[in-house]
Structure formats: structure tokens, C-alpha cells
């Protein structure tokens, strides 16, 4: 589980995601399957909020070591989009 603090910490992962352009499938809000289109490898990314803090995890090797990988960065950007849409509908 990685605690998401500033966007700066994800910068490298976001840049890598822009290059690799993995596919992010939404299983449900907070649960995503990220596919590397080149290799076909899939990873599960979970995003959750606990006590007002945001956390995310990825099942890849880097994610297992607590590093912000590009799968996580890709899924987090989708998650934040969904969260913003939910918040906008929740007036």
C-alpha cells in the first residue's frame, strides 16, 4: 500500500504511463485492472481512502516493494476522474 501525498511523487510514474499508455479497466469504484498492451500482462490496482488519506496498491513487483509504478499512476488518474464525477453528482 502506498500513501498518496503529493502529485510530485507520482511524476515519474505518470511520465512512464504517458509513454506506455496501459489500458485501465474499471472493475468497480476503487478497483482497477491495468493491462500492458505490449506484453499483455495485467495488474490489479486498488485505491482507497482511510481517515481522509488516500492509499493505492498494485500487484506488480514494484508495487509490492511500495514503489509508485506506472500501473498505479494510470489507475489513480482514472480513479480521481471517477471520484470527481461522483462528487459533482453528489450535490
Footprint on this chain of Zn ion (rule: CB under 5 A): 43, 58, 60, 63, 69, 71
Is 41 or 86 the residue whose CB approaches Zn ion more closely?
41
Dist CA 25 CA 34 (whole Å): 6
Whether the CB-CB separation of 82 and 26 falls below 8 Å is answered with yes
Dist CA 18 CA 27 (whole Å): 22
Is 32 or 43 the residue whose CB approaches Zn ion more closely?
43
Is 64 or 85 the residue whose CB approaches Zn ion more closely?
64
User: Least Å distance between CB 73 and Zn ion?
Assistant: 9
Amino acid at each position: 500500500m502506498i500513501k498518496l501525498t503529493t502529485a510530485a511523487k507520482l511524476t515519474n510514474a505518470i511520465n512512464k504511463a504517458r509513454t506506455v499508455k496501459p489500458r485501465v479497466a474499471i472493475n468497480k469504484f476503487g478497483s482497477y485492472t491495468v493491462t500492458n498492451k505490449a506484453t499483455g500482462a495485467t495488474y490489479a490496482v486498488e485505491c482507497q481512502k482511510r481517515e481522509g488519506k488516500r492509499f493505492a496498491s498494485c500487484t506488480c513487483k514494484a508495487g509490492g516493494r511500495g514503489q509508485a509504478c506506472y500501473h498505479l499512476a494510470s489507475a489513480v488518474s482514472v480513479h480521481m476522474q471517477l471520484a470527481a464525477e461522483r462528487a459533482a453528482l453528489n450535490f
